[in-house]
Structure 1
Amino acid sequence: MTEQNTRLGIMLMVATTFVFAMQDGLSRHLATEYNTMMVIMVRYWFFAAFVIAIAARAPGGLKRATRSGHPFVQIFRGALLVVEINVMVLAFVYLGLVESHAVFACYPLLVAALSGPVLGEQVGWRRWAAIGVGFVGVMIILQPSGGVFSPYAAIPLGAALMFALYALLTRFVARTDTAATSFFYTGTAGSVVATLIGMWFWESMTPPDWAWMGLLCLSGAFGHYLMIRAYEVAEASAVQPFAYLQLVFASTLGLVVFDETLRTNVIIGAGLIVTAGLFTLWRQHQNAKA
């Protein structure tokens, strides 16, 4: 991988995190006005159309995209991501973007902790130490006095756990399936599950909010396109650390647009989580090289 491609991949990943942060802001706005599950359902309709169009234009077409060594795991992955997104958007509504993303940032640590029992991978003492530091950061954020400690604090933590499992299952199916196949099942299976959940909560939307919904759908497709391109032109280990910028962008949006506050304990806790997460990514890269 050339230096130029790595630089391009980093730029694409930064752009991806910015687009996804804007998408989170749009999701929060719409979910405060309408039922969250309906918002996610409409978003997934567009997402499914996007992945089907991508698969149809790829070599082998839809037939190749549907070919999977683990079809039931792929379907479960898609369903799990829908539930995770619904839970995370609820967290935006109840806790705001700043606190929700600060807690959610622990998901790479959960991936590292669960990679042993789920995938049979070895996790050394250094990564276990980093996982411990990261969860100290979570407890600092969730401190009972003056923090975000409440029943609502479990919402983004639950979303992080589900997303970690989704990431591990993605790595599991990658042993037999292509990235295009996983992307196809994420959109199509997810759309079916989102519809089965969201169709019971349909609400009429105003024309301005339909415009916001359209922007939400476009941002989702564009963000996934940027992410795919980032991983195409650069190694995952080079661009993955920059995914943490979504925490920065989303928190800035929460502070500026939604008048949220940034508590000292959230800054300290998020700093510990991000540092520990970056260390686990570095150790994973070192082990892969070895």
Structure 2
Amino acid sequence: MSARAPSPATTGLPATHGGDNPLSGIVMMLLAVALFSVMDTLAKLLTTDFPAAQILLFRGGVALLILAPLAWRLGGGLDLVHQARRAPGKLLLAGLLGFGALASFLMAWRELPLVELGAILFAAPLIVTALSVPLLKEAVGIHRWSAVVVGFAGVLIVLQPGGAVFVPAALWAIVGTLFYALWLISLRTAGKAVSSVLVAVTNALIMTVLALPFALWQWTPPSPEQAAGLVGIGLVGGLAQLCLVRAFSLAPAALVAPFDYSYTVYAAALGYAVFGDIPASSTWLGLVLLTAAGLYIIHRERLNARRSRSRAPVTGGE
């Protein structure tokens, strides 16, 4: 699961609920997660033949060709430029963290099965919850702290540190997940200053710019099939981001966010079909704990949001 555009449920960004269509929102979320799993499979296939920088270049560059015209149309054109000038530091930080996350995941994919890396990545919302106290000065109650502890127990079960299953690539997965969690937090602050569509475009732009010199230095000429795969990573990733944005415009975040965990099904199926990977029983046990912890945090966020709305003063109308 690559460093993708996060949902409002995990970033604290507002979701659009006007003209809700819950069923369509769920379908779009399932499609987005399926596309991300396909993108991850393509990336894992190509990590043994190409340097990470070359894959990052195609991931960012092709996605940028999809997202930039959409952002220009939805964001009001020159207004996006004015927004970027208001928060250049926040946009740069978000882009750097996103780049670091995906680069780390590409290194992890050389050895780790898709479903195991996906399990480790499910710890990101738990890390966000833990880090939101010192970094964002947010209050976290005993319920969410308990979920964090359970979730990290699930990570340890999947990783089995000190055991025969633990491999060096797992360290890259941990580093990538930490980058990813910090990226989510950076998007909270950036999203309060500029539009989410601008954040998505600048992330793709920064990834492209950073990867370009390293990709040219280590360039490996691809075959026609490999070139199609490299382009497919950016194309599928860009389409997946569009589906994700669409999902949260059609239905409330609390409804569609839990379907992010469908990645486990896609990753297990694709991992077996493409690589012959069969997840160990410890992986499934860890996934159960991680999924339960993540869903419980989403549930608590939903309750807190409902309480905040009920305590908010009513101004005008009913």
**TMscore range, shorter length:** over 0.9
- Superposition RMSD in Å: 1.8
| 1:184 alignment counterpart | 201
Matched, 1:210 2:227: yes
Q: Which range moved further: 60-69 or 107-116? A: 60-69
- Within a 5 Å distance, the mapping from 1:52-131 to structure 2 comes to 52-65=68-81, 67-68=83-84, 69-131=86-148
Between the aligned partners of 1:237 and 1:43, the Cα distance in structure 2 is 29
Task: Summarize the alignment of residues 171-250 of structure 1 with structure 2, pairs less than 5 Å apart.
Answer: 171-250=188-267
Q: Secondary structure at the match of 2:109?
A: helix
Deviation string 1:171-201 (CA, Å, 9 cap, x unpaired) is: 1122221112212211222221222443322
Instruction: Deviation per CA, 1:71-129: give whole Å up to 9, x if none.
Output: 11111211211121111122111212122112111111111111111111111011001
2:20–2:249 contact (8 Å) kept in structure 1: no
| Worse overlay, 270-279 or 78-87 | 78-87
Q: 1:94 is paired with a residue of what secondary structure?
A: coil
Is 1:133 the equivalent of 2:150? Answer: yes
Cα distance in structure 2, aligned partners of 1:218 and 1:76: 24
Is 2:52 aligned against 1:25?
no
Q: Tell me, yes or no, if the aligned pair for 1:65 and 1:184 is still in contact at 8 Å.
A: no
Bigger Cα displacement from structure 2, 207-216 vs 157-166 = 207-216
Deviations 1:33-68 (A, max 9, x none): 211221111221112222221122235214425513
- Secondary structure in 2 aligned to 1:33? coil
Letter in 2 for 1:103: I
Question: Under a length normalisation based on structure 1, what TM-score does the superposition of the two structures give?
Answer: 0.94
Asked if 1:262 corresponds to 2:279, the answer is: yes
Equivalent pairs, count? 290
Task: Report the residue type matching 1:42 in the other structure.
Answer: F
Provide the C-alpha distance between the structure 1 equivalents of 2:80 and 2:284, rounded to a whole number of angstroms: 46
Aligned 8 A contact 2:124 2:180 in 1: yes
**Structure 1 letter corresponding to 2:44:** R
Partner of 1:108, secondary structure, is helix
1:36 aligns to what?
A: 52
Equivalent residue, structure 1, for 2:25? 9
Gap regions ≥5 residues in structure 2:
1-16, 308-318
Normalization by structure 2: what TM-score?
0.86
Aligned partners of 2:164, 2:31: CA distance in 1, in Å? 31
- The residue type equivalent to 2:40 in the other structure is D
Structure 1 residue 211 displacement after superposition? 1.6
The 1:178/1:207 distance shift into structure 2, 3 A limit, reads same
Whether the 8 Å CA contact 1:74–1:182 is kept in 2: the answer is: yes
The letter for the 1-side match of 2:217 is W
The amino acid across from 2:83 in the alignment is R
Rounded to whole Å, the distance in 1 between the matches of 2:18 and 2:27 is 14
Aligned-partner residue type, residue 11 of structure 1: V
Q: Which amino acid letter does the alignment assign opposite residue 201 of structure 1?
A: Q
Contact 1:106–1:274 (8 Å) recurs in 2 = no
2:204 partner amino acid: G
**SS of structure 1 residue aligned to 2:192:** coil
Name which of structure 1's ranges 278-287 and 40-49 shifts more when overlaid on structure 2: 40-49
Q: Which amino acid in 2 is paired with 1:182?
A: V
Number of the residue aligned with 2:311 = none
Q: Which residue of 2 aligns with 1:48?
A: 64
C-alpha distance 197-288 of structure 1, shift in aligned 2 (>3 A): farther
Tell me, yes or no, if the aligned pair for 1:88 and 1:155 is still in contact at 8 Å: yes
Partners of 1:66 and 1:195 lie apart in 2 by 26
The percent identity for this pair of structures is: 30
Structure 1 match to 2:288 = 271
